[in-house]
Amino acid sequence: MVLYAANNIPYSALSGVITADSVERTSLASWRFVCAMAAALIVNTFTLKLASTIGDGDLRFGFPATMAVWAVLAVFFFACTTAFTRERIAPIPRQRSSVWQDLNDLRRSKPWIALFVLAILIHVQLAMRGGAMLYYFQRYQTAPDVFYQIDNFGLFNGVGLIFTVLGVALAKPLVVRFGKRATFRTCLFLSALLMAAFVFVPPNSIAALFALQCVLQLVFGPTIPILWSMMADVADHFEWTTGRRSTALAFASIIFGLKLGLGVGAWLNGHLLQELDNPVAAQVSDATRIGLVSMISLYPAAVLMLGVAVLFGYGLDDPYLKQVEEDLATRRAQLSAPGP
pLDDT above 90 coverage of the chain, percent: 41
Domain encompassing residue 122: 99-336
The answer as to whether 245 is a domain residue is yes
Q: Would you call 193 exposed, middle or buried from its count of C-beta atoms within 10 A (0-12, 13-18, 19+)?
A: middle
Q: Which of 88-97, 110-119, 128-137, 294-303 has the lowest mean pLDDT?
A: 88-97
**Number of Cβ within a 10 Å radius of residue 148:** 5
Q: What are phi and psi of 150, to 5 degrees?
A: -125, 115
Is pLDDT of 340 > 60?
Answer: no
Per-residue model confidence (pLDDT) at position 285 = 77
The answer as to whether 124 is a domain residue is yes
Is pLDDT of 27 > 70?
Answer: yes
User: What's the structural domain count of the chain?
Assistant: 1
Question: What CATH number has the domain bearing residue 302?
Answer: 1.20.1250.20
Q: For the chain, what is the mean pLDDT? A: 87
The answer as to whether 61 is a domain residue is no
Per-residue model confidence (pLDDT) at position 320 = 87
The answer as to whether 118 is a domain residue is yes
Q: What are phi and psi of 147, to 5 degrees?
A: -115, 150
Per-residue model confidence (pLDDT) at position 56 = 87
Q: Would you call 192 exposed, middle or buried from its count of C-beta atoms within 10 A (0-12, 13-18, 19+)?
A: buried
Per-residue model confidence (pLDDT) at position 172 = 92
Could you tell me the pLDDT band of residue 5, with boundaries at 50, 70 and 90? confident
* pLDDT higher at 124 or 94: 124
The answer as to whether 268 is a domain residue is yes
Is pLDDT of 29 > 80?
Answer: yes
Give mean pLDDT, residues 262-271: 92
Query: What residues are paired with 147 via a beta bridge?
Result: 150
The answer as to whether 35 is a domain residue is no
Residue 147 DSSP label = B
pTM for the structure as a whole: 0.84
Per-residue model confidence (pLDDT) at position 93 = 64
Per-residue model confidence (pLDDT) at position 337 = 56
The answer as to whether 13 is a domain residue is no
The answer as to whether 20 is a domain residue is no
Write the single-letter amino acid at 44: N
Could you tell me the pLDDT band of residue 193, with boundaries at 50, 70 and 90? very high
Per-residue model confidence (pLDDT) at position 95 = 64
For 197-242, the pLDDT digits (tens) are 999 999 888 889 999 999 999 999 999 999 999 988 888 888 888 8
Per-residue model confidence (pLDDT) at position 336 = 61
**Number of Cβ within a 10 Å radius of residue 220:** 24
- String of DSSP letters for 237-283: HHHHHHS---HHHHHHHHHHHHHHHHHHHHHHHHHHHHHSS-TTSSS
Q: Which of 10-19, 160-169, 209-218 has the lowest mean pLDDT?
A: 10-19
